[in-house]
A = this chain, B = another copy of it.
């Protein structure tokens, strides 16, 4: 199925929605793109960068006449935003979102919209540590995966349309239940982010002098964590609060494993360490073979070769 949209409304004009706009424009698949955000400065940047053809801070005005609406607001605000745009929504419009949690979002948006069967929960598994309109780039979704989470009653035609959009911008699309999505992402994304935030926070609490030295020698491993821990604060706050159960479950497993490892170090159990480190190397091979290890674009001002 090919994809096109006469008028696309983007609620939120940050990294994900902005990149989607650029990718769809590049493909010549959209007529007009209308951008909506709370702050005037954000909307001005989105216009200047060519992400949107027209902007408005009013969600109901933004969606008027749009055949497709993409919600790109943090999960904690998405229900309220959906309620505000509902009065302006066309009957035939398809609504989707790009949030990193799905159960809470599908429930909140479903309850707020007059025709929840035209809403398809979505999550493009792509991103960088940067945020806002300036972070957007057209190739963000190429060779990445996108998960759609239709529920009982969701219109199959709406699902097909959203699927076609993500395929057009280069992603492979899978479908699963919102709960299943949240359990998988708790492992692949939410727990790793939580741990990265924690270790970088632990370093932030070191005294000034030690912190300066950490910056200097960060290349030894710490750098990777700082990149993850630079991700958008409000979005991630909402992710953890809205995928609490699965995150806490995985965190419990992780903490047990960490304590066991701590004990092995204290008691000089070298074979326990070597055995684990050998098993984790095999996992890396699994990830590489699944095509999920990729090379990052030059994005750091002081980028140097490894």
A93 adjacent to chain B (CB < 8 Å): no
Inter-chain contacts of A290 with B (CB < 8 A): 215-216, 218
A219 adjacent to chain B (CB < 8 Å): yes
- Least Cβ–Cβ distance between A6 and chain B, in angstroms: 30
A91 adjacent to chain B (CB < 8 Å): no
Complexed CA–CA distance, A194 and B220 (Å): 12
Number of interface residues of A (CB under 8 A): 116
Stretch at the interface among A55-63, A104-112, A137-145: A137-145
What 1/0 mask marks residues of chain A from 222 to 247 whose CB sits below 8 Å from any chain B CB? Answer: 11111111110110111011001001
Q: Do B281 and A265 touch across chains, with their CB atoms under 8 A apart?
A: no
Chain A interface residues (CB < 8 Å from chain B): 76, 100, 125-129, 139-140, 142-145, 147, 174, 183-185, 187-206, 210-211, 213-231, 233-234, 236-238, 240-241, 244, 247-248, 250-251, 253-255, 257-259, 261-262, 265-266, 268, 270, 273-274, 276-306
Q: 6 A-B contacts, Cβ less than 8 Å apart?
A: A125-B219, A192-B224, A196-B221, A224-B225, A233-B273, A237-B274
